[in-house]
Structure 1
Amino acid sequence: MAVALLGCSRTGGPPLGKVSGVVTLDGQPLADAIVTFAPATGRPSQGITGGDGRYTLAYTAEQPGAMVGAHVVRISTDRYVERPGGAVEQMKERVPPKYNAQSTLTATVKAGTNDFPFDLLSK
């Protein structure tokens, strides 16, 4: 009797690298910021910074990382957050446009593990 065992693996998608890092603004950890890595073509990856400024990117809900290659990086605190009790609050943008809407930040993701710290200045 022959038995075939099939494993679960990600196939058919682009090569990904694991991406994490720390974001600071004026030397202080930047909490609750959305970090987006956007390739020239293909799906962007996103992560949200914790209280310590650390983020980890996700390509999809099930796949950590970002596409291998060059990316424009955007960091923003402008988003809506649902608070306990169902109230929705808009977070104020604390990050200058040169790091989000008009971003000058770039990163090149390689296969494997990548660490990209971003030290932002408000002025």
Structure 2
Amino acid sequence: MIKNSHSYCRVFPLLLIAAAGCSESGEYTPVSGTVYFDDQPLSSGVVMFQPPTGPMARSNIAADGGYSLQTLGEADGVRTGVSKVRVSARAASDGGSGEVGLGRLLVPERYTDFDQSGLTVDVSLDNPGPYDLRLTSNRDPSR
């Protein structure tokens, strides 16, 4: 029994250190900008940032293409670091029966996935933005 208590004494401090690393004490910074698709402001949709640690931040896209991220509260921003970004925008759809469904995508499907979008933003306290996002219908984003 004494042997087990010694093991506990060795493991417990490690558990405390691990738990401290999981805290939500990271720095948040306001993030806003404009989403462009083929050089025109995207007039609707949702933009989401996935920081390296912590919760995802999101914003609806305004009619002028503007967005302002929130994570925990209104316009609080996102955790600092390089965030993966996804954008989703769909046309309104009315099936004629009064039911509203998902309309066609207004941006290429690759932008709707964090790992396929090719979009990342380095969010830092030193850079107040704006963090504009430029999407293109071309397969090659450098064009």
TM superposition score normalised by structure 1: 0.74
Larger radius of gyration: 2
Could you tell me how far 1:80 is from its partner in structure 2? 8.4
108-117 vs 38-47, which moves further: 108-117
Report the counterpart of residue 107 of structure 1 in structure 2.
121
CA contact (8 A) 2:68 2:75 kept: no
Cα distance in 1 for residues equivalent to 2:64 and 2:91: 19
Could you tell me how far 1:87 is from its partner in structure 2? 5.3
Give matches, 1:2-13, under 5 Å.
13=25
Normalized per residue, the structure richer in strand is 1
Could you tell me how far 1:24 is from its partner in structure 2? 1.1
Cα distance in 2 for residues equivalent to 1:53 and 1:106: 18
Aligned in 2, Cα 1:111/1:120: closer, same or farther, shift over 3 Å? same
CA contact (8 A) 2:33 2:130 kept: yes
Could you tell me how far 1:33 is from its partner in structure 2? 1.6
Report the counterpart of residue 4 of structure 1 in structure 2.
none
Higher normalized contact order (CA 8 Å, seq sep 6+, divided by chain length): 1
Give matches, 1:31-50, under 5 Å.
31-50=43-62
Q: Which amino acid aligns with 2:29?
A: G
Q: What runs of 5+ residues in structure 1 fail to find an aligned partner?
A: 1-11
Aligned residue-pair number? 108
Aligned in 2, Cα 1:78/1:43: closer, same or farther, shift over 3 Å? farther
Could you tell me how far 1:114 is from its partner in structure 2? 2.8
Q: Which amino acid aligns with 1:105?
A: L
TM superposition score normalised by structure 2: 0.65
Normalized per residue, the structure richer in helix is 2
Aligned in 2, Cα 1:80/1:58: closer, same or farther, shift over 3 Å? farther
State which of 39, 55, 68 in structure 2 corresponds to 1:27: 39
Report the counterpart of residue 116 of structure 1 in structure 2.
131
Q: What runs of 5+ residues in structure 2 fail to find an aligned partner?
A: 1-23, 139-143
Cα distance in 1 for residues equivalent to 2:92 and 2:48: 16
What's the % identity of the aligned pairs?
32
